Chains A and B, each alone.
Chain A
Amino acid sequence: MSDEPRGFTRRTLVRGSLVGAIAAGARVKAATPEGTTIGPAAAPLDLNVNGATHRISVEPRVTLADALRDRIGLTGTKVVCGRGACGACTVLLDDATVCSCLMLAHEAAGRKITTIEGLAEAGKLSALQEAFVAEDALQCGYCTSGMVLSCKALLDATPRPSRDEIRNAIAGNLCRCGTYNHVFAAVERAAGAKTAGARSGEHTVETAAFRLPPSACSLENDPRVAEGTAEALEAEEV
C-alpha cells in the first residue's frame, strides 16, 4: 500500500492526518506530520476508554462507534443515523463531544475517550444521571447515552446553563419519543444539585432502591453470553 496517495481512500488511512476534517467540532491534537499508512487489512491500536486501555485490531474504515460497540462491547453508545445527524453516538474525546460514527477508530487511538459506561463512579450515578431518572428525561432510552454526554459536556463548561444554552447544547441530539422538555429539567436539576448539594423533593430517586434486578431475558443471565464474552469481545484489556 506504499504507493497509495496521501490521505485516506475508502479503505486506507494515513494515521493521524485527517482528524480535524472527520471529527468536526472536536478539539484536534497535533497530527503526526509523517503518518504511517495502514490498511486495508486490520491493524492493531489501543483505545483508551473510560480509563482502561483496550487493544483491538480493526480495518482503518471501522468507525469509533463500531469499534466501541462491536469490538469492545461497550454498547451503551448507539448508532442511529451513521452520519453525524442525530447525536446518538456522542462520546467525549479528550472531554469534548464527538460523533463516534464520524470518527475512525484509528484516529481515536491513544486519546481519552469517555462513553456513557464511564459516568457512574463505583456504581453510583452522577448527579446528571440521577436527574435524568428523576425527571423522566428518557423514554425508550436509545438517544439517552448521547443526550447525557452532550449535557455533561455542557455542564462541565457551563455549570449553571440557561434554558437556551441547554437547548443549543442538545440541538444535535435527536429524540423520537419527545423527551426534550424533560431533558431541560434534568440539566437544570443537575446544575442545582452541583452547587447546592442533592435536592430533596418528591422527584428524588433513591437509585439503589430502584435498581432493577436482572430480568430473565437480560444477557447477564444467558450462560452462552456469560461464558463466551471473552472470546466474543475480540479485545483484550491491557
Chain B
Amino acid sequence: MENDKQRLKLGFNGEFKEKEVVLEDGDPAPWDPSTKFSIVGTRVPRLDGRPKTTGEAKYASDVRLPGMLYGKIVRCPHPAATVKSIDLSEARRRPGVRAALAIAKPGEKMRFAGQEVAAIAAESPEQAIDALSAVKVDYAPMPFVVHHDDARKDGAPLVFEKGPETKTSGGDVETSSKKSLPRKGNVVGPRTFTKGDVEKAFRDPEAVVVEGRYRTQVQNHTALETHGLTASWEGESLTVWASTQSIFSVRDELAEALEIPASRIRVLTDYMGGGFGAKFGPGVEGIAAAKLAKEAGAPVKLFLDRKEEQLATGNRPSSDQWIKLAAKKDGTLTALQLVVHGNGGTNGGTGASGPAKNIYACPNVKVEEYDVFTNAGPSAAFRAPGHPQGAFVLEAAMDEMAKKLGMDPLAFRVKNDPSEIRREEFRIGAEKIGWSGRDAARKASAAKDPGVVRGVGVGAAVWYNTGGTGPRATVTILRDGSAQVEQGVQDLGTGARTMVGIITAEELGIPLDRVTVTIGDTRLPFGPGSGGSTTTPSSAPTIRRAAYQAKKKLAAAVAKSWKVDSATVTVAGGRVSARGDAKHDVTWAEACKLVPEEGVSATSERAENHEDAWQRFISGAQFAEVEVDTETGKVRVLRVVAVHDCGIAVNALTTESQIQGGVIQGVSYALFENRLLDRPTGKPLNPNVEQYKIAGALDVPEIDVHIVPVWDGVNNTHSTGIGEPATVPTAAAIANAVSHAVGARIRQLPITPEVVLAAVEEARKGGAA
C-alpha cells in the first residue's frame, strides 16, 4: 500500500500553518486542532489513585512470597581498597542463612565507600543483618580522593589506573563519548562542540564581554522506594518484581548477567516508588538477588536501606563551570564559551552544555567538557541530565550580560531566543509574575524592612522531542463493549497507566471506565523504558494506532453482519453507522454485540516520527519570586510561575502534577541538597534524609502552572514528555531571583545562608549583580 500524504494544521496559540506529512501505512493522522476531545486534555484523576490511597497498591518492595528470604549486601567501608580475600564460610553457618555470594573478586579494587563486596540471604530480615558481620573480608586500603578539586591536582591518587570504566544508562541524553578521550590523572576529556570562531568574536573591540566561574553540588536521586527487586525461580525460569523505570532493560541485563535466555525471564513492575533516572538495569543488587535465589532454591527479596540508596545507586554530578559570553551593544549574542568539569564519582557523562548549545541563538559557540573521577558513588542519569546545572550557569551569565548592556534581562533573552514558543512562554510568565514591576517591588520590600528583600528571576528550559519507534501495544474490543489495552510500559508515578487508558478511550470513543489497562509486565507487548521524558511520546501514539486498528476491525465485523462495505462504516461519538444508510445506525454497545465471541483485537507498532512535521526543541520558562533575609541568609521561594509546552497534554491533571514536581525538585536542588563526603576519611557524611535535606511541605512555594498546547504533528497524538523540562530552569530562576534581591551574583548551588551572606557582603562592597 502506498504511504498516505496528509495536510496537517500545525502551530500553537491559535496560529497554524499547513504542512504536508507522509503517514505510515496504518497509522492514523495526527489529531486536527479542531478536534473536540472527549477526554484527552481534561483533568482525569489517575486510575491507580485508589489503590495508592488505601495501601492496596503492591510495590516490588511489598512483594511477599511463600518461603521468601531476605537479602543484604556487604559493602566496602574504605573509599579505595584492594579486596585481598572474602570468606563466606562463617556467614553461611549463621542461623537462617541460606545463600551467600561474593560479588567482588580477590585482587579487585574497590573504588568508593559503599561499593558492593558480597551478599547473603537469610530467612528473616534480622538474621540477614546479623550474618553481615560474619562475612570476613580482608582489605588493603589504598590512597583515595573524594573531592573534585583534590582529584584534579597533579599527583592525586588515581581512581582508575587505566581508562575509566564508565557506564551509560537509558535516561542519559548526552552520555560519555564512546571514543577514547585524552586523559590526565583523574580528568578525562574534553568532549567538544564548536560552531564558528569564539576567539575571533571575543577579540572584536566592539564586543561586550562577561565571564564567570560557577559551582554546583552532587545531588542524590532519593527516590522513596529504594533500589532492589524480589527474585523467584521456577526451574530455569525467573520472575522478578523490580522497582524500575524499564522492565525490558531489567530483563535483558539479567539475561546477560545470568547467562540465560531473556525469554525465560519475566519482569513485573505494577507500582514503583520513584526513579528520577537512576532505575534502569537490575543493578548489582538485583543480579545478586537473582543469584542468591538460585543458590537457595527460594525467592529472595533484596531492597537497599536508605544509607545504601544514597551511597551507591546514582547521583547528579557536581560541576565546576566557566562561562564567557560576548554580545553586540544592541544585545545580539555573538559568542558563548563554556568549560565544564563534572564529578560523577566513578562514572562519567557529566556534561552540562545542553542549555548553552540549544537555548539561545549564537553564531560562535565553543564547549569543552571534562569528566573528573573521584572515589565516590557513580553518577546516573538524573531528571534532565546536565540541564539544571547547565541552565543555572547559562542563565546567570545571561543576567550578567543584560546588566552590562543596560538591558532588561528578559528583553535580552527574547531578542536572542529563536523559539517562538518560548518567547510566548516568556510573555505569559512575565505577565503572571509581574516582571515589569519587579524592581519597584524589590525597592518597596527593602523600604519596608531592609532585612528582608524580595527578588524576581527567570530561567529558560530546553528539552528534546525524543519519543520513537520500538513500542507495541494491543487493544481488544470485547462483545460487551468494554476494551482492554496492554503494553509493557511502567508507571513511575507519572500517570503513564492513566495516559494509556485515556488514549484508548479517546480513540474508541468510550468512557474511561470501560477500558481496562494492563501494564508493567514483560509478557505484554514491548513498552518504552521511562527515560528522557519519552514515555508518553513513545507510548501514546502506539496505543492510539492499536485502538484505531481495533476500531477498523470492529467496523469490518459490523459491516459483515450488516452485509455492507466496511469502508462505509464509521465509528464515532459512541455510535456505529453505515454512511448513507439510516437503518444501520446503532450504539457502540449494540455494535460490539455483532463481533465474534473473542472480540476484535489489534496489535500495532509505533510509527516513525514524521520528520517532515514541526520538529523542534521542547521549551519552557519559569519565573521565581523569592524573599531573602539579608541578616540570616535564609531564602524563601514565595512563588514560581512555570510555563511549559509538551505538545498536547494527554491528561491536564497529571501533567500539572509533573510540572509541580519538577519545580519542587528544582527548589530543593537550588536551596538544600548537597551530598557530602569527608575529605580526610573519604566517608559519606549525610547518606540519609535528615542531613541530606530535600524540600518539605514548609519549603514549597505557590506554583502557578501554565501549559501552552502545541500541535506539532511529529506523532499522531502531538504528545511529548514533560518530566524533565519541568525541572531544568527552576534553580536558574531562583538563583537569578536571589541575585536580584541581594544585588550580587549567586555563583554556587545550593544557595545556603552562607552563600547568600557572602553575596550580601559582596553587594555591600559594591559588587555588581
Contact = CB atoms under 8 A, between A and B. Distances in A.
B50 interface: yes
Contacts of B126: 59, 61-62
A146 B223 CA distance: 16
Best-surrounded residue of A125, A141, A225 (most CB of chain B within 10 A): A141
A181 B65 contact: no
A140 B492 contact: yes
B516 A148 contact: no
Contacts of A117: 54-56
A11 to B, nearest CB: 9
A209 to B, nearest CB: 4
A43 B660 CA distance: 47
A232 B241 CA distance: 17
Interface in A131-183: 132-134, 136, 138-145, 148, 166-168, 170-183
A85 interface: yes
Contacts of B305: 82
A197 B305 CA distance: 43
Interface in A101-132: 115-117, 119-120, 125, 129, 132
A3 interface: no
Interface string B221-235: 011111000001000
B737 interface: no
A212 B665 CA distance: 29
Interface in A186-231: 202-203, 205-207, 209-213, 215-219, 224-225, 227-229, 231
Nearest to A86: B689
Contacts of A20: none
Given A78-B224, A140-B493, A232 B688 contact: no
A5 B67 CA distance: 36
Given A138-B53, A141-B273, A178-B661, A213 B306 contact: no
B181 interface: no
B694 A174 contact: yes
A47 to B, nearest CB: 16
A180 B694 CA distance: 13
Interface string B167-211: 000000000000000000000000000000000000000000000
Interface in A49-100: 59, 61-62, 66, 69-70, 73-78, 80-83, 85-86, 88
Interface in B268-286: 268-274, 276
Contact of A140 (B56, B273, B697): B273
Given A74-B55, A176-B222, A136 B521 contact: no
Interface in B685-722: 688-690, 694-698, 700, 702-703
Interface in B560-613: none
B653 interface: yes
B50 A133 contact: yes
Contacts of B660: 178-179, 181-182
B520 interface: yes
Given A120-B54, A171-B697, A216 B657 contact: no
Interface string A6-36: 0000000000000000000000000000000
Contacts of B623: none
Contacts of A210: 45, 47, 49-50, 512-513
A142 B62 CA distance: 11
B329 interface: no
Given A177-B493, A179-B661, A224-B66, A141 B700 contact: no
Contact of B274 (A70, A140, A205, A209): A140
A205 B65 contact: no
A80 B224 CA distance: 6
Nearest to A74: B55
Contacts of A116: 53-55
A62 B66 CA distance: 20
B157 to A, nearest CB: 33
Interface residues of A, number: 80
Interface in B250-307: 268-274, 276, 305-306
B268 A209 contact: no
A232 B662 CA distance: 40
Given A86-B224, A140-B224, A217-B520, A75 B58 contact: yes
Contacts of B493: 138-142, 177
A66 B305 CA distance: 13
Contacts of A215: 270, 517-521
B315 to A, nearest CB: 14
A73 B64 contact: yes
B52 A180 contact: no
B665 A218 contact: no
B305 to A, nearest CB: 6
A193 B513 CA distance: 24
Given A142-B274, A215-B520, A225 B65 contact: yes
Interface residues of B, number: 81
Contacts of B232: 224
Chief secondary structure at chain A's binding surface: loop
A170 B697 contact: yes
B523 interface: yes
A175 B493 CA distance: 12
B96 to A, nearest CB: 12
A224 B567 CA distance: 48
Nearest to B523: A216
A232 B64 contact: yes
Nearest to B267: A217
B736 to A, nearest CB: 21
Nearest to A202: B43
Given A78-B273, A177-B274, A203 B43 contact: yes
Contact of B271 (A62, A82, A141, A168): A141
A115 B654 CA distance: 27
B624 to A, nearest CB: 15
Nearest to B301: A70
Given A139-B494, A178-B663, A181-B703, A232 B66 contact: yes
B475 to A, nearest CB: 15
Contact of B665 (A178, A183, A184): A178
Given A59-B126, A82-B305, A181 B49 contact: no
B293 to A, nearest CB: 13
A132 B49 CA distance: 8
Interface string B643-665: 00000000001101110111111
Best-surrounded residue of B45, B48, B53 (most CB of chain A within 10 A): B53
Contacts of B690: 81, 83, 85
A182 B660 CA distance: 9
Nearest to A170: B697
A125 B513 contact: no
A178 B273 contact: no
B62 A69 contact: yes
Given A88-B224, A138-B52, A142-B274, A75 B661 contact: no
Interface string B481-505: 0000010000011110000000000
A76 B661 contact: no
Interface string B506-533: 0000001100111111011000000000
A174 B270 contact: no
Contacts of B33: none
A20 B111 CA distance: 43
Nearest to B654: A136
9 contacts: A59-B126, A75-B58, A80-B224, A138-B46, A140-B493, A141-B48, A176-B222, A210-B513, A217-B269
Interface of A: 59, 61-62, 66, 69-70, 73-78, 80-83, 85-86, 88, 115-117, 119-120, 125, 129, 132-134, 136, 138-145, 148, 166-168, 170-184, 202-203, 205-207, 209-213, 215-219, 224-225, 227-229, 231-233
Given A59-B126, A176-B224, 12 more contacts: A70-B64, A85-B688, A85-B689, A129-B53, A136-B46, A139-B274, A140-B223, A140-B273, A141-B52, A144-B53, A210-B49, A232-B66
Q: What 7 pairs between A and B have smallest CB-CB spacing?
A: A76-B55, A140-B493, A228-B66, A178-B664, A142-B273, A178-B661, A133-B49
